[in-house]
Amino acid sequence: MAILRDLQARLSGRVRSSVSLRKHTTWRVGGPAEILVEPTGIEDLRLVLQYARERGIPLTVVGNGSNLLISDQGLNGIVVKLGSEMSRIEIGEGFIEVEAGAKLANILAAAREAGCGGLEFMAGIPASVGGAVAMNAGANGSSIGDRVLEATVVDLDGKIHLRSHDELGFGYRTCALQDTPAIVVSVKFGCFPKSAAAIRAEVEQYLARRKQTQPLEYPSAGSVFRNPPGGAAGRLIELAGAKGMRIGDAEVSRKHANFIVNLGAAKSRDIRQLMLQVQKLVNEHTGIWLEPEVKLLGKHEAIE
């Protein structure tokens, strides 16, 4: 394959073809990537973006895959995974700067060891920082955007831009990057002095609560639907009687109704069909149409 050979010759990172994306999402579903690129740094990323743009090749960027439902048919073109090769963490006076592939758990561990407080709310969020910033992920009463000072992004032409907190336009599970084609490559978080013991105690409290209230024993994508104004999606799903509904190995969690879990061999189609059934059921009971919080990628079959 010409594209595969071209990219292998140009990039220092790993370039492979026909790679299953199941292991690259927390739901453990999804078909193959036509080409999977794992860049080693910003220059690799710029090169692959320019290559795809110049040739009109479809391009998708993923991180830890914690908020994605990838179709069973997979993804055409080039899939760029920002992972361990772009996960450096630097701690300074009043800030932590991290690359997009760094997992939030690793950032929090580094902050704890350095006595940098303010990021404890991240405990248990199964995301890498690039995706977490793009969707303004949150938990425990706070959101990622609350602590972001600035972010470095690359546009689809491969040009680098520095975006301030205000320019990123954070809102509930959203930010300006969702409307502007640009990819987060690094983020600077603000922090403040706090003892490692105090950080550890707060993190353990958050993790214990998460274990009690969420189905962590099964693969999932976290909350499937956005909370509608003035309500909680999980509560609406439970009141509509959807808790425990199942299609194939996809099930509406019996522990937390806004989670759809993979009991072992679920397909993307099973999850998509279950999502639609939940939406219809909640709408019938409340008149509210729940909007997905997860992002659907690839060609999903039409479901009635």
Q: Residue 154 corresponds to which tokens in the numbers above?
A: 């690359």
Instruction: For residues 238-256, give the mean pLDDT.
Output: 97
Instruction: For residues 76-90, give the mean pLDDT.
Output: 96
pLDDT at 299 over 90: no
Q: What is the mean pLDDT of the chain?
A: 95
pLDDT at 304 over 90: no
Secondary structure of 173-220 as H, E, C letters: CECHHHCCCEEEEEEEEECEECCHHHHHHHHHHHHHHHHHHCCCCCCC
Question: Of all residues in the chain, what percent carry a pLDDT higher than 90?
Answer: 92
The gap between the terminal CA atoms of the chain, to the nearest Å, is 37
Of the candidates 295, 14, 42, 63, the one whose C-alpha atom is nearest the C-alpha of residue 153 is: 42
Q: pLDDT tens for residues 127-162?
A: 999 999 999 999 988 999 999 999 999 998 889 999
- How much is the pLDDT for 145? 96
Q: pLDDT tens for residues 45-57?
A: 999 999 999 999 9
Helix, strand, or coil (residue 15): strand
pLDDT at 303 over 90: no
Residue recorded with tokens 């336009």: 169
189: Cβ contacts below 8 Å, ≥ 6 apart: 95, 96, 97, 98, 107, 118, 119, 147, 148, 149
CA distance 94 to 92: 6
Which listed residue (173, 209, 210, 246) is catalytic?
173
pTM for the full predicted model? 0.93
pLDDT at 234 over 70: yes
pLDDT at 1 over 80: no
92: Cβ contacts below 8 Å, ≥ 6 apart: none
pLDDT at 300 over 80: no
Catalytic residue check, 53: no
* Pairing label, strands 295-297, 68-70: parallel
Of the candidates 63, 54, 57, 65, the one whose C-alpha atom is nearest the C-alpha of residue 83 is: 63
- How much is the pLDDT for 85? 93
Least confidently predicted of 65-74, 178-187, 190-199: 178-187
Give backbone dihedrals phi and psi of 22, rounded to 5 degrees, phi first: -55, -45
CA distance 1 to 4: 5
Q: Residue 10 corresponds to which tokens in the numbers above?
A: 């140009």
Catalytic residue check, 173: yes
- How much is the pLDDT for 283? 97
Catalytic residue check, 301: no
Instruction: For residues 113-124, give the mean pLDDT.
Output: 96
Which listed residue (71, 223, 253, 268) is catalytic?
223
- How much is the pLDDT for 208? 97
Domains of the chain, earliest start first: 2-84 (3.30.43.10), 87-212 (3.30.465.10), 233-297 (3.90.78.10)
Q: Residue 149 corresponds to which tokens in the numbers above?
A: 């000072």
pLDDT at 99 over 60: yes
Angle at which helices 196-213 and 104-114 pack, to 10 degrees?
150
pLDDT at 302 over 70: no
